[in-house]
Structure 1
């Protein structure tokens, strides 16, 4: 469903826009309001972050949001239960961004079953290398949940080919070397890097990490299939700043 949702947007000449939100930041009771509002303003899919005590990929904005969510008592189980409570109202595919330990503690098969009931159509596990994917892959496959791979700027050609072949739904193309967070500058060779990724892939390629302005969205939309925006969305939600969010989404339209 994720790939189809992105391809539908591309067919209209637009680019995919996927906001990242931290589940439980502001309380789990805010999750329904946020997701329904995001789909109302035209996002393609929503990446739902699961708070974790030791996040390796998160910059300060998302790490602090995760800490607030954990202080609110948020768990993977409570997030999935909350999402399931209004799943019939969710019209865009959800992607869970979580780390491996919470899934192992949950049980792979049980997690996959509950995730499907919660409207999750894809999973990103940044601390799980491709070689370890069998830990979870069959359980996800059983529920038709895509296992999305991240590809870094430093990945050699052979590694890109392996990751592109294994990724489902879309490729998460990391646009910076380092952790998440708003940036003002990006590497000059990005366009050539994305050309390599698109040549290696049969599924959409989305850009993520550091994208924080409408200008960034338009820049990446010119050579990718869409963008994932995290820290800026998290900041805007904290400040109830929907004007900023709407401007970012609008920048992905033709």
Structure 2
């Protein structure tokens, strides 16, 4: 398997006794300049990776906050070609890994091989396709691997031991451990079963375990990181972007405000 920036960055963080904070942003929300500015700020904070969501009108796993950001980006004319071009432009300036979170409908529309090729060429390091279950992911995984991309699989609290073992068998990069039942969105607490699920996965894999869904404060990041290798924060970041947009803040001020919030979350990784 080819060397990959995501693997290297996760390992470096864990070797430095720091868990991994992975922010999530919606591509081109509110525009590509803000997306690029946020990626630069997250990189300077020290995040080993960032997830970039591709706007899609019919997302199955996302709550109203993320779906609203998708709708706004699409209404503003989001184009995948423009995103790939901007990623190619900023990639040389960034040390963190870039993860494309994208619906299989988008991948199929462009063609699986074509999508993976273009994503890799512009500078992505991994893909997450949340609407493809592990038992249907083999060709996707093979194609992404052929283009040097890690294919991140998700493990839900409801996954059986058999399903966990199957996910562990095919996992690369990290396993996205879903820390709360249901759709994405902030919650007052993560699922009480998270430590049990993580313990079960540790028995069948050495692949890093990064938890997401429902995480929105430094304390929650700290709690999640006490049992996993890192935390993904999405809806809480998108909500702050939306509040800044609705408050008519400038692009630079949006980047500053959201960046300061992510920096506060980063404190929970040690």
**Superposition TM-score tier, normalisation by shorter sequence:** over 0.9
Counterpart of 2:36 in 1: which secondary structure? helix
Q: Which runs of 5+ in 2 are unaligned?
A: 245-253
- The corresponding residue for 2:193 is 189
Which stretches of structure 1, 4 residues or longer, exceed 4 Å deviation after superposition?
none
Q: What is the alpha-carbon root mean square deviation over aligned residues?
A: 1.3
**8 Å contact 2:20–2:230 — kept in the other structure?**
yes
**8 Å contact 2:157–2:193 — kept in the other structure?**
no
- TM alignment of 1:70-85, pairs within 5 A: 70-85=74-89
**8 Å contact 1:236–1:245 — kept in the other structure?**
no
**8 Å contact 1:51–1:75 — kept in the other structure?**
no
- The corresponding residue for 2:238 is 234
- The corresponding residue for 2:135 is 131
CA positional deviation for 1:215: 0.6
- TM alignment of 1:157-172, pairs within 5 A: 157-172=161-176
- The corresponding residue for 1:251 is 268
Q: Which runs of 5+ in 1 are unaligned?
A: none
**8 Å contact 2:189–2:220 — kept in the other structure?**
no
Counterpart of 1:78 in 2: which secondary structure? helix
- TM alignment of 1:1-254, pairs within 5 A: 1-238=5-242, 239=244, 240=254, 241=257, 242-252=259-269, 254=270
For 2:192 and 2:106, the matched residues in 1 are separated by 37
For 1:135 and 1:100, the matched residues in 2 are separated by 12
For 1:165 and 1:135, the matched residues in 2 are separated by 15
For 2:202 and 2:150, the matched residues in 1 are separated by 19
TM-score, with structure 1 as normaliser: 0.95
TM-score, with structure 2 as normaliser: 0.90
CA positional deviation for 1:132: 2.1
CA positional deviation for 1:135: 4.1
Q: Report Cα offsets for 1:148-191 as digits up to 9, x if no partner.
A: 10000010101100001111100000011100000002332221
Counterpart of 1:55 in 2: which secondary structure? coil
For 1:75 and 1:178, the matched residues in 2 are separated by 29
Q: Pick which of 179-188 and 201-210 moved more.
A: 179-188
Q: How many residues align?
A: 253
Counterpart of 1:200 in 2: which secondary structure? coil
